[in-house]
Amino acid sequence: MYSVILLAVITTMIMLYKNIQKHERDYTEIRNEGILRIVTEYNQSGYFVSGDTIRGFQYELSRAISEISGLEVQIFLEMSLSESFSGLDKQRYDVLARNIPITTELKENYHFTDPIVLNKQVLVQRKVSENDSASAVTIRNQLELAGKTLYIPENSPALLRIQNLMHEIGDTIYVIEESRYSSEQLIIMVAKGDIDYAVCDRHIAEIEEERFTEIDIDTDISFTQLQAWAVRKESPILLDSLNSWFSKIRDSGKYDEIYKNYYNTTHFNLR
């Protein structure tokens, strides 16, 4: 009796396993459904509403991909990078569309598209003229970060860079990961004097600098980084398709047009 039950359990487990394997989403499954699910964040780099118009760097790239591929693109919004990766792992999303630094650690678990932008992490601080403290100074040398407290969004790729920077300067830098606030919100907190320092992508900092002239973003925390979109390791055909679509977008001049709408810095020549 017990052997029959055990056999039934094992058979069920094998069937479930095969079923899971069968439904792993790659380009074929996406094409059959006709829907590409993309997750990004709600900000000017990702997706935002301006008046009665939807805008955003990642959103416009997604639309361009939809036009080229013939797929319906569904956009999902998630501010947390870790939750976005979790949704990618669980196949709620097919693509994580953010400017994600291509690091060795992340490449162990995910595939990255060809680079979309060049970016770097910068220190956001108030200008001395906007500081209440008479002893306030502008940090220009990374050695001066010793003993300082830097704010970043929870699970930000900047964390690894700051940890490496601590080893480089041989001193402690305190890091507070904020689960409630995005990079844009942390920049606002710096501008208002609620916190002293934040670290974020230069592209985002440049956009916010136009709104908050009291911030200083001219101190680099990292070297220039290649940044791209991410897909699951189990989606190699989707990865090839994305790279092919991006190539067509660049060749058509559409990429340059979209980039210039959002970023002031010279873009990475992807040709």
Identity at 247, one-letter amino acid code: S
What's the pLDDT tens digit per position in 195-208?
A: 999 999 998 999 89
Residues 174-194: tens digit of each pLDDT: 999 998 888 999 999 999 999
Residues 60, 165 within the same domain? no
Kindly list the distances between the CA atom of residue 217 and the CA atoms of 123, 137, 203, in Å, as whole numbers in the listed order: 6, 14, 10
Residue 7 confidence (pLDDT) above 80: no
**Domain presence at residue 80:** yes
Residue 21 has pLDDT above 50, yes or no: no
Verify that 230 and 213 share a domain, yes or no: no
Examine the domain organization and report whether 251 and 210 are in the same domain: no
Structural domain including 29 reads 2-119+225-262
Domain membership flag for residue 152? yes
Same domain, 51 and 17: yes
Average pLDDT over residues 152-176: 91
Q: What is the pLDDT of residue 73?
A: 98
d(CA 246, CA 244): 5
Please tell me whether residues 167 and 101 are part of one structural domain.
no
Domain at 143, CATH number:
3.40.190.10
| 65 and 182, same domain (yes or no) | no
In a domain, 270, yes or no: no
Could you tell me how many residues make up the chain?
Answer: 271
> Per residue in 53-106, pLDDT tens?
999 999 999 999 999 999 999 999 998 888 999 999 999 999 999 999 898 888
Q: How far apart are CA 159 and CA 23, in angstroms?
A: 35
**What pLDDT is stored for residue 267 in this prediction?**
45
Name the band, by pLDDT with cuts 50, 70 and 90, for residue 141.
very high
Instruction: Reply yes or no on whether the pLDDT at 16 is more than 70.
Output: no
Are 101 and 10 members of one domain?
yes
Q: What percent of the chain has pLDDT over 70?
A: 86
Q: For residue 85, which of 181, 154, 178 has the smallest C-alpha distance?
A: 154
The alpha carbon of 257 is separated from its chain's Cα centroid by a whole number of angstroms, namely 21
Q: Give pLDDT, residue 22.
A: 47
Q: How many structural domains comprise the chain?
A: 2
Q: What is the pLDDT of residue 34?
A: 98
Burial class (CB in 10 A: 0-12, 13-18, 19+), 148: middle
Mean pLDDT, all residues of the chain: 88
206-246 per-position pLDDT tens digit: 989 989 999 999 999 999 999 999 999 999 999 999 999 99
CA 232 – CA 2 distance, rounded (Å): 40
Q: Are residues 56 and 94 in the same domain?
A: yes
Q: Which long-range contacts does 236-244 make (Cβ < 8 Å, 24+ apart)?
A: 236/26, 236/111, 237/26, 237/27, 237/28, 238/25, 238/26, 238/27, 238/30, 238/94, 238/95, 239/111, 239/113, 240/27, 241/27, 241/69, 242/65, 242/95, 242/113, 243/113, 243/114
Average pLDDT on 142-156 reads 93
Residue 33 lies in a domain: yes
Question: What integer pLDDT is reported at residue 180 of this predicted model?
Answer: 85
Q: Are residues 162 and 111 in the same domain?
A: no
Together in a domain, 208 and 130: yes
